[in-house]
Amino acid sequence: MDNFTNYKGAFPTLEQLDKHLSQVAPDPRINLAQVSLIQQQTQLPQSLNREPKFIETPQPRFIELPSSPQILKPLFPNIGNQSNQRKAPDIQSMLVLPLHSRAIAIIDALTQSGFDIAKCIRDQITVIAGNQRGGKGTLMAILAILSKALEPNTKIHYFTAGDDIYPFQCHYLVCRLSYPQVDGAKADATVAGDLYQYLREMDNATQNSYTDIILVIDEAVALSDYLTDDQKQWIIRFLFTRANKKGAQIFVVLHGKNLTSWVGTKNTAGFGDTFKTGATFIGCEATSKKLSPLKSISVATGKYFLADPDSFEKSISGGEIGVVPDWLKTEINPATSQPDPARTLLKYFPEIVENIPNFLEVPTPTSPQNNLAETVEQLESMLKLEVAEVEPSVEPELEIDSNFLDRIVELVRQGKSPVSYEAIRKHKSWLRDWNMNNPGRAKLRTALQLLTQSGRIFGDEITGYFLPPKN
């Protein structure tokens, strides 16, 4: 060990060891008797070592504990040798669960079936895009239904072109069916104007004032085509740059191959990259189904993925969402005769089904007499100017009679208390039942003031109006 530093931690060679031993002598303090005893112990035969003895322990006794029928009955029984949908929720077992717990169970079932629906709502705004009949509206309906079930107090506000709507409950639904007195294209143009005005009002609202709202904009490309270029640019910039501050969960359905097919190249105004990062983009897949030797239709495959904004047909890295399982395709869409996952999902949530949409509070088309007032109102909000409202030249007070006041009281009685000022002014009954245009703002305010002063109704323009309590 004296030469440890010389060897630098390495073992000496045989020659170095012999040289070292020739230069040293045994230490006289060594107890030779003990060394000899140790050597004898290490040389004992191996046979003296006893083999370990293993004893087999008793087998445990398992006792099945009593359980409720709901737990004993599986929620997800096997339904066949299907690759991505091995288990289906049992409807009867699910219906006994509260709405929120039922939604959680469905989401778990979808995840177990290989459909990662949680990826669809990574951001506050979700854009579902792709070609015609690719399943865009189907996924939108699934997300809206589950979001409503998870938070039953939320309200769905739904705008779409055409009349192909899903039968789920909407607090505010505007589509072509909202305007049966005008033809299809004009009705869609009116819906587009309603959407523009709705988003304007949202923009003027305070932050997080729409946290209880799920906004669905279906057929966004078709609706925006009815707007002017400036209106379309404003909607796009608002949705992708400021809408998330209002707190609403927003689903946009686009028909196109990339974001430019809706936004265009002139509407970005320097926000091109911001648009691409302001939402979650989901792509879908369609295939051709042959009905006869000379007839084919496009049908959705049920496959979804997180899409590249520059090409909705391409998935981003790790963006696979999965394929809608077969157990969610038992119902048939009456319009296409194809499996309908959204209508199948509603079987698990009958509380959310609404086969007859409620259009009572949908605004009617503005008459030429009121167009000027509406235009001034829009310009005022855009320019932030305080100007006097424009009304017809006739003095509004002179037009107010007892019938007009009675109709306002009737609208307050029919509506859900408290009834808002706009709900009264834009109620469909003015044109449908009483064959008259929507009342002017000044006229309606004067009438409401008369009714509140006389005690026939209570409330104000900010909080809404309601009937006095019955004695």
Mean pLDDT of 295-309: 81
Residue bearing the bigger pLDDT, 355 or 92: 92
Report the distance separating Cα 328 and Cα 95, nearest Å: 16
| Rounded (5°) CA angle 227-231-237 | 130
Phi, psi (5° rounding) for residue 216? -115, 125
Q: At what angle do helices 368-383 and 184-204 cross, to 10 degrees?
A: 30
Measured in Å, how far apart are the chain's first and last C-alpha atoms?
109
Predicted pLDDT of residue 440: 82
CATH of the domain at 243: 3.40.50
Contact call for residues 95 and 89 (beta carbons, < 8 A): no
Stretch (H or E) spanning 173: strand 172-174
Residue 366, domain member (yes or no): no
Say which residue the tokens 């077969």 belong to: 326
Q: How far is Cα 287 from Cα 134, in angstroms, rounded to an integer?
A: 8
Residue 410, pLDDT above cutoff 80:
yes
Mean pLDDT of 223-252: 88
**Is the domain of 413 the same as that of 342?**
no
Pick the last residue of a domain from 327, 352, 377. Answer: 352
Residue 9 in tokens: 């931690």
Domain ranges, residue 417: 390-466
- In 3-state terms the chain splits into helix, strand, coil percentages (rounded to 5) of 40, 15, 40
Q: How many domains does the chain have?
A: 3
Q: Are residues 327 and 441 in the same domain?
A: no
262 lies in the same domain as 330: yes
Place of tokens 């007009």: 404
pLDDT (tens digit per residue) in 168-215 = 888 889 998 888 888 888 889 999 999 999 999 999 989 889 999 999
User: Is 229 inside any structural domain?
Assistant: yes
Predicted local distance difference test score (pLDDT) of residue 382: 53
pLDDT digits (tens, 9 = 90+) for 312-335: 888 888 889 999 999 998 998 887
Q: Which has the closest alpha carbon to 129: 220, 211, 198?
A: 220
Token pair listed for 297: 């239709």
**Nearest CA among 360, 353, 289 for reference residue 148:** 353
Q: Does 270 lie in the same domain as 150? A: yes
The pTM for the full model equals: 0.58
Asked if 342 and 406 sit in the same domain, the reply is no
Tell me the C-alpha to C-alpha distance, in Å, between residue 38 and each of 26, 41, 42, 46.
18, 5, 6, 16
Residue 28 phi, psi dihedral angles, 5° rounding: -65, -15
401 and 314 part of one domain: no
Helix ranges, 151-183 (H): none
Q: What's the mean pLDDT in 231-240?
A: 87
pLDDT (tens digit, 9 = 90+) per residue, 104-163? 999 999 999 999 988 888 788 899 987 777 788 889 999 999 999 999 999 999 999 888
Average pLDDT estimate for 42-70: 64
Distances (CA, A) of 103 to 94, 106, 118, 342: 9, 5, 12, 14
288 neighbors 306 (Cβ within 8 angstroms): no
Closest CA to 161 of 109, 221, 119: 221
pLDDT of residue 273: 62
284-310 exposure pattern, b = at least 16 Cβ within 10 A, e = fewer: bbbeeeeeeeeeeeebbebbbbbbbbe
For residue 61, the SS3 value is: coil
Task: Specify the amino acid at residue 346.
Answer: L
User: 280 in a domain, yes or no?
Assistant: yes
Is residue 396 in some structural domain? yes
Task: Please tell me which of 50-59, 236-245, 393-402 the model is most confident about, judged by mean pLDDT.
Answer: 236-245
Q: What is the 3-state secondary structure (H, E, C) of 254-289?
A: EECCCCHHHHCCCCCCCCHHHHHHCCEEEEEEEEEE
Give a yes or no: residue 53 inside a domain. Answer: no
DSSP string, 313-354: EEEEEEEEEEE--GGG--SB-TTT-SB-HHHHHHTT-GGGB-
Task: Report the CATH number that the domain containing residue 433 is assigned in CATH.
Answer: 1.10.10
Residue 328 lies in a domain: yes
Residue 427: pLDDT band with limits 50, 70, 90: confident
395 and 347 both lie in a single domain? no
The answer to whether residue 65 is domain-embedded is no
Residues 168 and 271 in one domain: yes
> Could you tell me if 433 and 309 lie in one domain?
no
Number of other residues whose CB lies within 10 A of the CB of residue 51 = 5
Would you state the structure tokens that stand for residue 300, as one six-digit string?
């959705």
302 or 82: which leads in pLDDT: 302
State whether 205 and 335 are in the same domain. Answer: yes
| Residue 376: other Cβ atoms inside 10 A | 16
- Asked if residue 385 is part of any domain, the answer here is no
Q: Are residues 329 and 240 in the same domain?
A: yes
Three-class secondary structure of residue 78 per DSSP: strand
Task: Name the residue among 327, 379, 247 with its Cα closest to residue 77.
Answer: 327
Write down the residue that tokens 């109102």 correspond to. Answer: 377
> How confident is residue 437, by pLDDT bands cut at 50, 70 and 90?
confident
Does 408 lie in the same domain as 305? no
What are the Cα distances from residue 421, in Å, to 155, 193, 386, 459, 460? 19, 20, 20, 10, 8
